[in-house]
Structure 1
Amino acid sequence: MNPFKVVLRAELQESMRSRWFIGYTLLFSGFVSMIFIAGVTDSYVLGFTGLTRLLLIFIQGCNIVLPIFILMTAVRVIAGDRDSHILEYMLSFPVSLKDYYWGKLIGRYIVVFLPLVFAMILAVIIGLFSGGVPWGLVVLYTMLLLCNSFAFLGIGFFISVRVRSQEMGVAVSLFLWLFLIALIDVTLIGFMIKSRISPELIFTIALTNPVQVFRVVAISLFDPTLTVIGPAAYFILDRAGRVPFITFGLVYNMLIGLSFAVAGYFSFKKKDLI
């Protein structure tokens, strides 16, 4: 059998048997279920109701939880195999570094994205019984989740290759998550506003943050005028427009993930593996 397929299948089987995968699946599926049980789909707030309202809340949860979940699992892949000497064992077989690395990455990507697909399917089923399904919105949001997941998976694999241990990888991931969630959006932007830096420069720097891009694109799917984000809406809509910005968000996050994944691969090839 092709070595790449062997590594891919082994990664899928190992990950799906693990406790984190079960917990990860239950978290997102349970989150959707709890939103429905709480009666949110029957409420009407700011023009949102039914499945649209459910997905709007689901977005806020994904924006915070999804990056750290993916980072925490991705950084353990190669670093964990190195610590447990599985990497040394795998490379004793006729498996190339290319097959090993990309087999692990694609396998983990499938495993990371599957629970999100289950959650979206559950949301669609709920929507069928609560007033209809906005299919275009569901497809766009699923694509956004797909791109955002790949962005942080690529970053996680890069960290996993560069660090010396799983513990160091987890620490780096946690710091990066806090930096993207808090420092860029609160501390850094607050400092720049206080320093009277050009608003255009502030918005541009903010939109280099994949978490912020995910948030704004997700909001734009529900609120075409972006009224909830304030003055930044004028910068985004006047300079780009809604559809080009959504396209930018999807492509940008995929490119972030691909860039870090490729950088991780070349570092993996050159680094002392054992």
Structure 2
Amino acid sequence: GAITAGAHMGMRSLLSYQRGEEAAADRAAINYLNATGQSAKGMVETFRRLQNETMFVARHVDPYAVSHPMPADRIAIIEPLARASPHYGKTDPPALDARHQLARAKLAGFLDRADAITRRYPPSDTSLPARYARTIQMFRFGDRTRAAAMADDLIRSQPGNPYFHEIKGQILLETGQPAAALPSLRRAVSLAPNAGLIRIMLGHALVASGNNAALDEAIRELRLALQREPEAGDGYRQLAIAYGRKNDRGQADLASAQAAYYSGDLQTARGLARRAQGSLPTGSPGWLIAEDIYNQRPRRN
């Protein structure tokens, strides 16, 4: 009984700490919104909606046995702070709202089922976000040739949007036309140079094009991308292929080890890391990265 009580108290202490961290994060969010001149009204409304959705369940929940403060408690803390802000009644600029709507459309297009996308963005909705979502829907579930034409229509509507060029490049890449995808992906990267995942796609297309003269460009793009997305396993896989085609065995094995490591296959990663060290100069940056991977041990539960 004493042992069980001690464990119970320890867990409650941990949960109390986590609730404190969440409450601090809520207050920090208010501060960040104030500092950037944005309203926290949406944050308050989100927690109020969450409170309504959990109203009946919350009556049976021990508030001291959860990792997050109850929605009512969070509202009690943040609503006075939000209402005290001079920006509380401020609406978002139209350009920011337009970007948000496009982001929502992209998420729906890639994550929802076809019928759910149609319900959210019916054919009668001719807005740019709806057309974007339907382009992705056509790419995932319909005629990919038609999807490419729909992407062209998006680009004509907004030529400076990198994500419209991205979807055109992705459609071409995933329909076995990597060389044709390059202009769209290069344009997307030029418009969004900090978007690491688009650079990885460009690197993938360069590798898949089969043009050995493009391997140095592929390696450069992939390395730049992985500075932004250091845990992107696919980036390391493409990098391994590029180095392999250049007969750089050490760098190819190292990139393969990193791909396996970030994919959660530690055993394979350690084996490839040790093999990479056999080809890399001892003490070089790549050798040291391989040593770090090799020295990793599985986590024990």
Give the TM-score normalised by the residue count of structure 1. 0.24
Task: Give the structure with higher Rg (CA).
Answer: 2
For normalisation by structure 2, the TM-score amounts to: 0.22
Is the helix fraction higher in 1 or 2? Answer: 1
